Amino acid sequence: RREGGKAYVRCGSRASSENTVRVGVLGASGYTGSEVLRLLANHPQFGVALLTADRKAGQPIASVFPHLATQKLPDLIAVKDADFSYVDAVFCCLPHGTTQEIIRGLPNHLKIVDLSADFRLRDISEYEEWYGQPHRAPELQKEAIYGLTEILREEIRNARLVANPGCYPTSIQIPLVPLIKAKLIDIKNIIIDAKSGVSGAGRSVKENLLYTEVAEGINSYGVTRHRHVPETEQGLSDAAHSKVTISFTPHLMPMIRGMQSTIYVEMAPGVSTEDLYQQLKRSYENEEFAVLLGNGVVPRTHSVRGTNYCLINVFPDRIPGRAIIISVIDNLVKGASGQALQNLNLMMGFPENLGLHYQSLFP
Amino acid sequence: RREGGKAYVRCGSRASSENTVRVGVLGASGYTGSEVLRLLANHPQFGVALLTADRKAGQPIASVFPHLATQKLPDLIAVKDADFSYVDAVFCCLPHGTTQEIIRGLPNHLKIVDLSADFRLRDISEYEEWYGQPHRAPELQKEAIYGLTEILREEIRNARLVANPGCYPTSIQIPLVPLIKAKLIDIKNIIIDAKSGVSGAGRSVKENLLYTEVAEGINSYGVTRHRHVPETEQGLSDAAHSKVTISFTPHLMPMIRGMQSTIYVEMAPGVSTEDLYQQLKRSYENEEFAVLLGNGVVPRTHSVRGTNYCLINVFPDRIPGRAIIISVIDNLVKGASGQALQNLNLMMGFPENLGLHYQSLFP
Amino acid sequence: RREGGKAYVRCGSRASSENTVRVGVLGASGYTGSEVLRLLANHPQFGVALLTADRKAGQPIASVFPHLATQKLPDLIAVKDADFSYVDAVFCCLPHGTTQEIIRGLPNHLKIVDLSADFRLRDISEYEEWYGQPHRAPELQKEAIYGLTEILREEIRNARLVANPGCYPTSIQIPLVPLIKAKLIDIKNIIIDAKSGVSGAGRSVKENLLYTEVAEGINSYGVTRHRHVPETEQGLSDAAHSKVTISFTPHLMPMIRGMQSTIYVEMAPGVSTEDLYQQLKRSYENEEFAVLLGNGVVPRTHSVRGTNYCLINVFPDRIPGRAIIISVIDNLVKGASGQALQNLNLMMGFPENLGLHYQSLFP
Amino acid sequence: RREGGKAYVRCGSRASSENTVRVGVLGASGYTGSEVLRLLANHPQFGVALLTADRKAGQPIASVFPHLATQKLPDLIAVKDADFSYVDAVFCCLPHGTTQEIIRGLPNHLKIVDLSADFRLRDISEYEEWYGQPHRAPELQKEAIYGLTEILREEIRNARLVANPGCYPTSIQIPLVPLIKAKLIDIKNIIIDAKSGVSGAGRSVKENLLYTEVAEGINSYGVTRHRHVPETEQGLSDAAHSKVTISFTPHLMPMIRGMQSTIYVEMAPGVSTEDLYQQLKRSYENEEFAVLLGNGVVPRTHSVRGTNYCLINVFPDRIPGRAIIISVIDNLVKGASGQALQNLNLMMGFPENLGLHYQSLFP
């Protein structure tokens, strides 16, 4: 209907001959799936060839996400009915637990970015401990590359299967990995007070996620135990070449998107906050999406809404020898679908920021 | 700093030789100004050459809008210090009342889209009545074209000065103008219950716009008198070739962006809601941004957040002979900066949707 | 634990010998049930003797509603295990559809205020039409008194079973019934644009009630059909002695509590808005909870949060002969549990405002 | 008008012969002032005799706070015009900086609870350092008692001038003072990540408090310096008999009311989280408003909205030897006006919980 007489530049991202890469989205009825579709709408090289959602098979995506009605997109089908021969790459946006088997069944020619937690933990016994079931694809686990782009870019470039990081681990590792590698902070005393928007929980229909239960209040859930802990500790331990145990307290905030990690660290003897600042500056000065702000400027979640940026900064603490690090991301973008696209760009040989030039929707 | 060794596609919209059109933004420290900058960040043909904000002159834009820190943009200067010889077009985002004189002083080669209310009312005595001061540029008023793109596209294409419509008038005129032109509704009984997000009031620091005063409640302001009334009535009267008086009640909603007009109309004798639907279908089937939804689908502000779409639909009323029309926009995009860009695209000879391919930020 | 050595006035509302009325709450795990408990905490004559919630039987109420942990209240039991011989009155806060049978099974000595929709419609065929199942207690229906206190106070005083009104119908009937009775408005042209907070939907776990789906947007649901329509039309038709058909469009707002009905009416020939104002003044000047505001003052939901007030006012419309009426309530208080308590006060012979002296929680 | 023919229990709190205590509120046009009025509406012994607001003198309070229109209250007057001979006690809700001189000028018979920061710091040089001006009433400072009720009850009972604590200091000291006194935690390593609702900033009209700037985001302000630090350190140092320096990072949350302090502590050698729990249990088992929750239950701001409770609990940390303490209050009640009323109750010889039996407005 919308392609009548008027000459205008085509909007929407359905795969066509103009697009060199045909992309599938598995699990398109959740928030990370729909966010991939939002981002792809402006991507010059990727087109959407395939959308799956088993329980919504046969429906147009607009019946699940009315805001996608203005794009031309394929209807939802069941994974089992998908023909992957016309697809070059997939974003796998399925729930953890079911993902391992489905990815194991995908053809070999596909590049895969998995947004679930199913391939993030190298130690499959740790997976079993935290997710309550045995790993179903241990052989693939060995192949999977952890997709924290700024830290593992070269490995990702050559990967076939990328395990896209969780939102909390992304916001924590970006500032801490360079500081730990440079031995600037004490790894036995890392305290992370993290605040997340509600969309981090996905579109799951649970009482504690109702508007009436979330608005106008704070919920500290998982005070002593949260599934993003082992993933974060894995990354920090890699940086430290030694086991790191963190203090991690997530808080659910009355906001849709956005995540802030306020990180309290003890500096190594003789180290100053200026040293931390300079190290982060060196690490990230050529990065587009990991951005150290100017001296004293506080990172704000408002500045990253809808964008792929991770903004960070370092502040002196009143207690001598300690520093405070603040890091903010949009949990659905750099914390999920945006970083996934950044990774797929790399895997397909494109500039990693292609199609990711979104600026924050503020106010 | 961020242009170091890595090869990546440039992000940001500073004017350069690659861009064919050098754009200035007058009044860049308000929300419509910053929204123009957000949209231009992805525009392939427009670059930002000039930013003014008298009270913030000398500052980087990031000190006023931290979320713009990741873009490369010129520093803010005072209007009086601006050199317009290197500028092709301006978005004028200044407050009403001051705009007429400033635009009168601009050089003739500039294309101008004015987002204030200063050139919207053709009848300058009506301007004086509603804005409490005499019109300061009556000669320019004659030249100004009202920028409701879908209705006045050809006039806009050839205009030098476009008066960009208000948010409420946009959301109301898009559905009603075709129905009035086709004589399908009674023009003496148009009742509009409009709901707006808070950003419609701009960044003005007023007690009634504080978080504590807005959140978790509804404020019906301007119940009997609102400045968008004469503008709306002017457009509807043009369509009717007869004076239209509307019932218009705006409500301030606890949300940042988004606007919904719920419009209650009496149909002309013998007319059905299906007739209204078919008329809107004919009027807008080739439009990209004015979108009639499928039968029975309710337009939602969530579907247009950050986008230039106006979604509309028609519903039967329980009272025989009446119909309910719902129209939604993002007040800062189709209701302000997006439509302004749509208009400047036309004025500069580009496809009107260039750089406007944003999909809704949902959730 | 909290009754140790210190002498303080006891807080909490568990029934005791000091309280003359022992109250049960059936369905205490929903929002109207918990709201009854909040209100009773300050009631000088009512004590809570019994709480039921079938699916949560055996649990303390604090496990379902942590905010009630500071009160001393009985544990939840199943309705079938309740001993009503020690109870004088019950608030029935169960879902519609199940309520008729449960109330039919209650002993005769109990005074009952039913907050469900099950006894609101006198015409049991209308009940079947709108609720999709036959009425299960037609004999009780004849006995039930509709609990709109300000309109039916004397009948309520002598009732055994009161059908507590819905929130929308309360906010609409309070302003309109006196105007219709006085024949001041045209009953064929009543247009109601209603806005509700999310708690009106109860604690039901549905996707469209998630924070991520509600915050920062408007949802117009039930545009053409809503279950509160027949109840409202019943009350208005009674006042008119003639069938009234209304235009009614409910909107879900991003706020927890609060309801506003913006009502567009055509006045009878020769009637002015001042006539409407004076009629409402006469009708409600001796009422505590139905309050006509001063001339021109706009009722705000912020002014009634947590309170039993219904604030109303009348405004002239731009269209000659029309008027705009605004009415606000807290949907959980005057729209549910507060009015229920007001009614039980009457039924038990107490002043109707006893225990209802709450002022709005603003900000 | 509302005292017509009907017999009902009087609502509203204007002082009368029935009330034994005539109370004045100085600075009634701010949020702490209006919150005092909300609480007094249900107080059986206190009546409002006097309201001042210099810039609003001559107006009814309802013109400043429409939600107070349903109470009968005196009109606002200027402080200089107040006749204190008919007043027994005042809540002083004026801004810091101006308060010292005004209180110095009050007659001696008045009991005073000052909600500003002007008398909280015993060391007047510290006042000057943090508030940028010399102390104007050093002699009164010696007399002032710090009003943290649970810690200093006996002193408050006999005080004439009480300096009511700040919201952050209240939420922090209630859990920490007993633990520090019992030497259970390391006082050199107390890290406080605090989250506050926006009403904590008062009704000040500032850009960063606009709905558009607050909603849907987190603002970490005062990362390295906040005025509540010296007050908190004063209280903790008193408990420790030694100077305590804290790490304190406040975060502004998108919610109107509510405050959570997430406190990260290192335990003294050999101490367990169970030891902390038992100490808090002993300290607060006879308190009404300082409530230790059951083992493992997370305190939620939703549970204290509109109430005077401080809910606390202790959790084990993943890092051995550390613990996490969570404390929540309503910043306007236990963090301001509620604690002020609790204190005045004591000062006037009443039970401290009189008129404070409010339960949380949830949802």
pLDDT in tens, A263-287: 999 999 999 999 999 999 999 999 9
Instruction: Identify residue B119 by its one-letter amino acid code.
Output: F
Domain with CATH 3.30.360.10 in chain C: 167-331
* Secondary structure letter of residue B238 according to DSSP: H
Average pLDDT of chain A is 94
- Least Cα distance to A257 among B359, D257, B214, B362 occurs for B362
Average pLDDT of chain C is 94
- Least Cα distance to A23 among A114, A105, A90, A102 occurs for A90
pLDDT in tens, A110-128: 999 999 999 999 999 999 9
Q: For residue D11, is pLDDT > 50?
A: no
Residue D69 contacts C, CB cutoff 8 Å: yes
Q: Token match 């001598």: residue?
A: A320
Q: How many whole angstroms separate alpha carbon D249 and alpha carbon D251?
A: 7
Looking at the complex, report in whole angstroms how far the Cα of residue D191 sits from the nearest Cα belonging to chain A: 8
Residues 216-235 in B contacting A (C-alpha not used; CB under 8 Å) = 216
Q: How many whole angstroms separate alpha carbon D154 and alpha carbon D346?
A: 9
- Least Cα distance to C321 among C270, C280, C245, C279 occurs for C270
Pairing of strands D191-196, D259-266: antiparallel
Q: For residue D42, is pLDDT > 80?
A: yes
Find the mean pLDDT for residues D347-357: 96
If pLDDT is split at 50, 70 and 90, which confidence band does A18 have?
low
Q: How many whole angstroms separate alpha carbon D167 and alpha carbon B204?
A: 29
pLDDT-above-90 percentage for chain D: 92
Cβ contact D305–C361 (<8 Å): yes
Looking at the complex, report in whole angstroms how far the Cα of residue D210 sits from the nearest Cα belonging to chain A: 10
Which tokens is A184 given? Answer: 């600037």
Asked whether the beta carbons of D170 and D329 are under 8 A apart, the reply is yes
Residue D18 pLDDT: 59
Cβ contact D212–B206 (<8 Å): no
- What H or E segment, with its residue span, contains residue D313? strand D310-316
Instruction: Identify residue A25 by its one-letter amino acid code.
Output: V
Residue D267 pLDDT: 98
**Residue C296, Cβ neighbours under 10 Å: how many?**
12
Find the mean pLDDT for residues C276-281: 98
Residue A240 pLDDT: 98
Average pLDDT of chain D is 94
Find the mean pLDDT for residues D256-276: 98
A311-325, B62-76, D220-234: segment of lowest average pLDDT: D220-234
Asked whether the beta carbons of C23 and C90 are under 8 A apart, the reply is yes
Handedness of CA A71, A72, A78, A79 (dihedral sign): negative
Cβ contact B319–C189 (<8 Å): yes
Give the angle C314-C320-C323 at the CA atoms, nearest 5°. Answer: 15
Pairing of strands D259-266, C46-52: unpaired
- C21-164+335-347: CATH homologous superfamily? NAD(P)-binding Rossmann-like Domain (3.40.50.720)
Q: For residue A35, is pLDDT > 90?
A: yes
Residue C19 pLDDT: 60
Q: For residue A13, is pLDDT > 90?
A: no
Residue B16 pLDDT: 53
Residue C18 pLDDT: 59
> Does domain D21-165+335-347 match CATH 3.30.930.10?
no
Looking at the complex, report in whole angstroms how far the Cα of residue C85 sits from the nearest Cα belonging to chain B: 42
Tell me the fold of D167-331: Dihydrodipicolinate Reductase; domain 2 (3.30.360)
Alpha helices in chain C (DSSP H): 31-40, 61-64, 99-104, 124-131, 138-143, 149-157, 167-181, 211-214, 228-240, 273-284, 338-347
Give the angle C223-C224-C226 at the CA atoms, nearest 5°. Answer: 80
Domain with CATH 3.40.50.720 in chain C: 21-164+335-347
Q: How many whole angstroms separate alpha carbon B258 and alpha carbon C234?
A: 35
If pLDDT is split at 50, 70 and 90, which confidence band does C11 have?
very low
pLDDT-above-70 percentage for chain A: 95
Domain with CATH 3.30.360.10 in chain A: 167-333
Q: What is the largest CA-CA distance in chain D?
A: 71
Q: For residue D64, is pLDDT > 90?
A: yes
Neighbours of chain D (3+ CB pairs under 8 A): A, B, C
Q: For residue B330, is pLDDT > 70?
A: yes
Which tokens is B278 given? Answer: 């078919």
Look up C93 and say whether it is catalytic: no
If pLDDT is split at 50, 70 and 90, which confidence band does C8 have?
very low
Domain with CATH 3.40.50.720 in chain B: 21-165+335-347
Handedness of CA A41, A43, A48, A51 (dihedral sign): negative
- Least Cα distance to A13 among A27, A24, A26, A29 occurs for A24
Asked whether the beta carbons of D230 and D214 are under 8 A apart, the reply is no
Find the mean pLDDT for residues C143-171: 98
CB-CB: which of D34, D288, D360 is closest to C11? D288
Q: For residue D335, is pLDDT > 80?
A: yes
Alpha helices in B158-261 (DSSP H): 167-181, 211-214, 228-240
Is the link from the previous residue into C363 a cis peptide, with omega within 30 of 0?
Answer: yes
- Between helices B228-240 and B167-181, what is the axis angle to 10°? 20
- A167-333: CATH homologous superfamily? Dihydrodipicolinate Reductase; domain 2 (3.30.360.10)
Find the mean pLDDT for residues D8-23: 58
Q: For residue B14, is pLDDT > 70?
A: no
Residue of B nearest to D254 (CA): B211
Q: For residue D190, is pLDDT > 60?
A: yes
Asked whether the beta carbons of D279 and D184 are under 8 A apart, the reply is yes
Catalytic residue among C11, C92, C93, C167: C167
If pLDDT is split at 50, 70 and 90, which confidence band does C17 have?
low
- Least Cα distance to C327 among C199, C213, C196 occurs for C196
CB-CB: which of D216, D224, D305 is closest to A255? D216
Exposure b/e, D211-249, CB count within 10 A at least 16 = b: bbbbbbbbbbebbbebebbbbbbbbbbbbbeeebbbbbb
Residue of C nearest to D351 (CA): C8
Asked whether the beta carbons of A311 and A304 are under 8 A apart, the reply is yes
- Least Cα distance to A16 among A35, A30, A3 occurs for A3
Instruction: Please tell me which residue, C16 or C356, carries the higher pLDDT value.
Output: C356
Cβ contact A210–C216 (<8 Å): no
Asked casually if ipTM beats, i.e. exceeds, 0.90, the reply is yes
Strand partners, C265: C323
SS3 B161: strand
Q: What are the Cα distances from residue A94, in Å, to A31, A41, A90, B258?
A: 10, 21, 11, 31
* Secondary structure letter of residue A132 according to DSSP: S
- Between helices A124-131 and A228-240, what is the axis angle to 10°? 150
